[in-house]
Structure 1
């Protein structure tokens, strides 16, 4: 991919892609995705997939991003680590409107409800204007619950204003 901040759409599908946090950080910090509006990445293989850290990087480096399709590797450990990040960083006012996310199946997600609330807090922290959270095939009920939590956060914010 050439070094250019004029790239607005990255849409890769029909394959497995080994892109994890380090690669997403590299594209973002190099300025290659500074003008990105749409990012659609295909499924990744376990242990070589983005985590919630990538959402923070995208929120920080891709201010024009409005559509994101990403396969996340969610484990109890990386969800808890993400929780620490939001305790240490100020909320962003990113304008992302729609996310389509899929989580890789992980057998260590025993406390599904609490971890779902943590993911919702993380998404709300970096993407407070997120209106659409669409799950892909696996874990749709879990993601729909997170979407409901995000709606509640938005309603409370609007009542406080």
Structure 2
């Protein structure tokens, strides 16, 4: 990894660090549900003992004008549409990155999606024996809210189940 910060051997009590790729995709709000379902189905969005891990930034908008050669053809107006950013990480692997692009171009609604890729360090918990820690979500009165609500789960196409 080309980085000015070398963290390979950093010793942390509660976590370890892994080199990974952070991918950010801008998507019109109406296209987000189908794209995040497909990302979770076709990519190993794993963080520790969790999968389907991604983050959606809401309440943005995209601004553009279609030019000659676009599906819409040349337009004389600048368009805006409500949009979100979908952020996820994958291991540093060229084949997996190519698969991510395939999923985005297949299931995304834009013909020219805005995709940013960054090399980063991500933390992974060492799962300390702190089940009695009063700050953990399961020990708090708002545990249900913090843990979230159930949503649809798509089986991973690459699983052996």
TM-score under structure 2 length normalisation: 0.22
The structure where strand makes up a greater share of residues is: 2
Larger Rg: 2
The structure where helix makes up a greater share of residues is: 1
Which structure has more relative contact order (CA 8 Å, sep 6+)? It is 2
TM-score under structure 1 length normalisation: 0.22
